[in-house]
Amino acid sequence: MKKIFLFLGVTLGLLLMSSCHDHETYADQKKRERTAINKFIADSAIKVISESTFHLQNNTTDVSKNEFVLFESTGIYLQIVRKGCGDVLKNGENTTVLARFDEYNLLTDSLQLTNNVLIYAGDPDKFNVRNTSGTYKASFISGVMMTWYKSSTVPSGWLAPLPYINLGRPSKKGDEIAKVRLIVPHSQGHQSATSGVYPCYYVLTYEKGK
């Protein structure tokens, strides 16, 4: 049943985009993507802040104001809901991360993929990540993303928050895992988003694996 649910969601989104893209140039597709992102920002009453403002705020976003920082070099928008317990991944450190996510296709305005359902309660997506002088490389070990997009490559967009959040495991009352919201353009997304030229919106949590 879970496979049917996910397959239909992903397949429908891909078919809708394919039919729309048959006669579009890449420039047209990027313009369409930009329009979808701008509409989502406006409809969600998102306040976009610059990287300089983000750094002045000690690398935080004010959730009460619905702030998202725009990283100009990648086009990724990030809101840090919770920095999380534990520590930032240090230079040279390698660790396993457990992730739970909702993925929305902003072109079709629909939930496209998720592991936040009962059938995956004990089965978060798992990936290994290494920080090498501020460059993050990661590969999926298991999970819904790897299964449905048939790739072990973790989207670059998922790695963008790592310099600013903590990776840990709750061990005492009050501890919480890191949570972010992301708007990820196709160039920073998974292979399907890249080839289909569509942006995704993610609600995503990170927890250090055992």
Residues ≥6 apart with Cβ < 8 Å to 80 = 59, 60, 61, 63, 161, 164, 165, 178, 179, 180
72-90 confidence digits (pLDDT tens)? 999 999 999 999 999 999 9
- Is residue 5 very low, low, confident or very high in pLDDT (cuts 50, 70, 90)? very low
How many angstroms separate the CA atoms of 43 and 41, rounded? Answer: 6
Whose structure tokens read 């930009």? 34
Nearest to 156 by CA among 67, 76, 71, 52: 76
Write down the pTM of the prediction. 0.89
10-41 confidence digits (pLDDT tens)? 555 555 455 545 578 999 999 999 999 999 99
52-71 confidence digits (pLDDT tens)? 999 999 999 999 999 999 99
Nearest to 79 by CA among 58, 109, 48, 106: 48
Nearest to 164 by CA among 56, 55, 77: 55
160-197 confidence digits (pLDDT tens)? 999 999 999 999 999 999 999 999 999 999 999 999 99
Residues ≥6 apart with Cβ < 8 Å to 106 = 33, 36, 37, 39, 40, 183, 198, 199, 200, 201
Average pLDDT, the chain: 92
What's the pLDDT at 22? 59
How many angstroms separate the CA atoms of 84 and 1, rounded? Answer: 33
All domains in the chain, ordered by first residue: 2-208 (3.10.50.40)
Judged against a pLDDT cut of 90, whether residue 199 lies above it is answered with yes
Residues ≥6 apart with Cβ < 8 Å to 72 = 51
- Note the Cα 136 to chain centre separation in Å: 15
- Where are the strands (E) in 93-152, listed by range? 94-105, 110-114, 125-132, 135-142
